[in-house]
C-alpha cells in the first residue's frame, strides 16, 4: 500500500511543501498539498482522506499541535510532524498530541520518506480495533497508572515504579492496544520502528522485566499474557484519565 498511499502535506513554506510533494511523487505516492490548517480542514471536509499527514508544527494561525489534536479526535490517520525547532520538549509535546513520528528541520527527504514508510507499515500491521493514541496523559490499567507526560508508572498507593525508556515504550504499546494480540514483530516496529531480525529476543527480555514490575506473580503473569504462537496481550482494559 505504501507505493500508492495518499499523503497530505501541510506546511506554510511553499518551497518546502513543493519539495516534499515532488519527492514523494517521484517515489510513487499520491500527494495533496495544503498551505495551512484552514486549507487542510477544507480538504478533509471535502472527503479528501489521505493515508498519512505530514504536518508542520510552526504555522501562522492554527499551529500544528492544535491541528494534530483535532486530527486525533476526528480522524483515523497517522501523522508525521515537522518542526524547525528540534527541541526535545517540542518533540515530546508533539508525540503527546498524537503524532506518530517527528522530524526536525532541516531534514533529508530520504529520511522523511523512511519515516513515512515506517509509520504506514506500523499502522497497517496493527490488528483491527483501536489504533489511535488514547486521549490524555494518564492511562489506568489494573491497579496501575501510566503517566505518559512524565514517563512514569505508579500504583494505586501512589508508589512510583521506575521504567527504562524501552519498558515505557513497550508498556505504552500495550495500553494503546488492550486485549489485542501483538506479535513480537509488531511490538518491535511500534517501539523501535524496525522489523525483528532472526533470533531477536529483545521484546521477550523487555516483557520479562516489565512483568517483574507490574505482575502480582511474574512467574504466572495475568496482566501481560503470552499467546502461544502469536505474541503478547494486555488482558485488562486501559482507560484514559
Distance CA 50, CA 229 (A): 34
Residues 50 and 149 placed together within one structural domain of the fold = no
Residues 97 and 165 placed together within one structural domain of the fold = no
167: containing domain: 138-240
Whether 41 maps to a domain, the answer reads yes
Residues 52 and 93 placed together within one structural domain of the fold = yes
- CA 98 to each of CA 15, 20, 27, 142: distance values in angstroms, whole numbers, following the listed order: 26, 22, 26, 24
pLDDT at 131: 47
Domain count, the chain: 2
pLDDT at 134: 53
Whether 133 maps to a domain, the answer reads no
pLDDT in tens, 108-134: 999 999 989 988 887 776 655 444 455
Residues 144 and 196 placed together within one structural domain of the fold = yes
pLDDT at 189: 75
Whether 132 maps to a domain, the answer reads no
How much is the pTM? 0.59
Residues 143 and 104 placed together within one structural domain of the fold = no
- CA 183 to each of CA 4, 56, 125, 189: distance values in angstroms, whole numbers, following the listed order: 26, 32, 10, 10
Whether 211 maps to a domain, the answer reads yes
Backbone angles phi, psi at 195, to 5 degrees: -85, 155
pLDDT at 77: 84
pLDDT at 141: 95
Whether 114 maps to a domain, the answer reads yes
Residues 121 and 183 placed together within one structural domain of the fold = no
pLDDT at 199: 42
Whether 167 maps to a domain, the answer reads yes
Supply 67's cell numbers.
491541528
- Max distance between CA atoms of the chain, in angstroms, equals 57
Whether 131 maps to a domain, the answer reads no
Distance CA 25, CA 160 (A): 48
Q: Give the end of a domain, one of 71, 100, 125.
A: 125
Whether 151 maps to a domain, the answer reads yes
Q: Looking at residue 191, which CATH number applies to its domain?
A: 1.10.10.10
pLDDT at 128: 52
Given a cut of 50, the residues of the chain with pLDDT beneath it are 1-2, 129-132, 195-199
Residues 173 and 233 placed together within one structural domain of the fold = yes
Residues 99 and 161 placed together within one structural domain of the fold = no
Q: Give the end of a domain, one of 125, 159, 180.
A: 125
- 201 Cα distance to chain centroid: 22
Amino acid at each position: 500500500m505504501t507505493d500508492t498511499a495518499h499523503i497530505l502535506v501541510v506546511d506554510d513554506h511553499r518551497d518546502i511543501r513543493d519539495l516534499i510533494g515532488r519527492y514523494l511523487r517521484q517515489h510513487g505516492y499520491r500527494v495533496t498539498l495544503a498551505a495551512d490548517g484552514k486549507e487542510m480542514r477544507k480538504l478533509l471536509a471535502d472527503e479528501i482522506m489521505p493515508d498519512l499527514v505530514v504536518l508542520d508544527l510552526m504555522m501562522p494561525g492554527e499551529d500544528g499541535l492544535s491541528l494534530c489534536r483535532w486530527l486525533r479526535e476526528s480522524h483515523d490517520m497517522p501523522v508525521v510532524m515537522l518542526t524547525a525547532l528540534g527541541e526535545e520538549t517540542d518533540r515530546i509535546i508533539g508525540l503527546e498530541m498524537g503524532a506518530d513520528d517527528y522530524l526536525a528541520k532541516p531534514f533529508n527527504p530520504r529520511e522523511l520518506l523512511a519515516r513515512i514508510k515506517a509509520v504506514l507499515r506500523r499502522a497497517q500491521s496493527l490488528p483491527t480495533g483501536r489504533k489511535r493514541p488514547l486521549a490524555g496523559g494518564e492511562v489506568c490499567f489494573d491497579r496501575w497508572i501510566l503517566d505518559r507526560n512524565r514517563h512514569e508508572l505508579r500504583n494505586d498507593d501512589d508508589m512510583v515504579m521506575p521504567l527504562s525508556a524501552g519498558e515505557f515504550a513497550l508498556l505504552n504499546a500495550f495500553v494503546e492496544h488492550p486485549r489485542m494480540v501483538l506479535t513480537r514483530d509488531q511490538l518491535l516496529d511500534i517501539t523501535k520502528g524496525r522489523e525483528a531480525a532472526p533470533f531477536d529476543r529483545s521484546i521477550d527480555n523487555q516483557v520479562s522485566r516489565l512483568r517483574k514490575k507490574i505482575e502480582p506473580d511474574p512467574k504466572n503473569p495475568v496482566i501481560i499474557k503470552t499467546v502461544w504462537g502469536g505474541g503478547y496481550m494486555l488482558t485488562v482494559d486501559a482507560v484514559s484519565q
